[in-house]
Amino acid sequence: MKVDKLKLRIFKSRLMQRVFGQPVNIRASWEETPKDYRDMVEFLDWFDRTDAIESTVERGRVDWQHRFAPSQAYSALSKGTVLEIGFGGGRLLMHAARDFERAIGIDIHSNFAMTERFLERQGVSNYQLYHRNDFAKIPENSVDFVYSFIVFQHFDGMAEVDYYLTHIKRVLRQNGIAQIYYGKNQEEGVALTNATDFRLRDCSLFISPITMRQLISDRFDLLEYSDRLPRDPLSNSGESVQAMVLFRNRSA
């Protein structure tokens, strides 16, 4: 019943597009859709399909432990401050907050109150949430680990990638690292879904791994990358639509 509301919203949006050819503003859809959710499962379901809070917590644990924590660079890190770009409901941030002294989340959505409720319910209190436009409030040279998962693929253009890379460079500590998952373009270069073809929650930005690696190497030291990742990290099966880059600020 609760999950049906989300399906109804998506159905209505698609109907408006098909019948009236109405374009969807990609960024606004991420900003505004979560604002009305009051039911926790419905809220969490918007960001990552779920039918129970426990499943979200478990999926968050699996993604955190298998997609971020295993790298050698991660184990060598000082565990002071961690920063997530696009925290959504908070399913990854809750696990990150347990590994680090302090966790910071950045997002554009309009229902931080529900994320706070979720985190507090999980016993997490060492966190701060910031709107994307307030990134400049996070001091330079203050973050040990920046990460992002299933977020860059939802951007509405490369200017947003540039915005985040600029801030990552600014906030990363000298020995800090960043690990970013992004939507993979199978062709060369970058592909962006236009507003008329965009369907609610779909991926919109696809970057070829060569292009992404070049972008990173222009500004950072690229430490690791992976162009082929399993969809299911537990069974190591399937192929994810995402690729990954892990990097740090260029050593002086």
**Smaller CB distance to ligand SAM: residue 155 or 198?**
155
**Smaller CB distance to ligand SAM: residue 108 or 158?**
108
From the list 16, 76, 21, the residue with the least C-alpha distance to 223 is 76
For position 109 contacting ligand SAM by CB under 6 A, the verdict is yes
Residue 239 three-state SS: coil
**Smaller CB distance to ligand SAM: residue 202 or 221?**
202
Candidates 32, 99, 116, 160; binder of ligand SAM (CB under 6 A) is 160
Tell me, letter by letter, the H, E, C secondary structure of 74-127.
HHHCCCCEEEEECCCCCCCHHHHHHHCCEEEEEECCCCHHHHHHHHHHCCCCCE
Which residue number has the CB closest to ligand SAM?
88
**Smaller CB distance to ligand SAM: residue 39 or 48?**
48
For position 67 contacting ligand SAM by CB under 6 A, the verdict is no
For position 155 contacting ligand SAM by CB under 6 A, the verdict is yes
Q: How far is the C-alpha of 107 from the C-alpha of 134, rounded, in Å?
A: 10
For position 95 contacting ligand SAM by CB under 6 A, the verdict is no
From the list 73, 249, 101, the residue with the least C-alpha distance to 172 is 249
**Smaller CB distance to ligand SAM: residue 39 or 160?**
160
Candidates 6, 24, 45, 47; binder of ligand SAM (CB under 6 A) is 47
User: Site for ligand SAM (CB under 6 A): how many residues?
Assistant: 19
The single-letter code of the amino acid at 240 is S
Partnered with residue 6 across adjacent β-strands are none
Q: Quote the strand ranges of 167-227, DSSP E.
A: 172-183, 190-192, 205-207, 220-226
Contacts to ligand SAM by CB under 6 A: 30, 47-48, 85-88, 91-92, 107-109, 132, 149-151, 154-155, 160
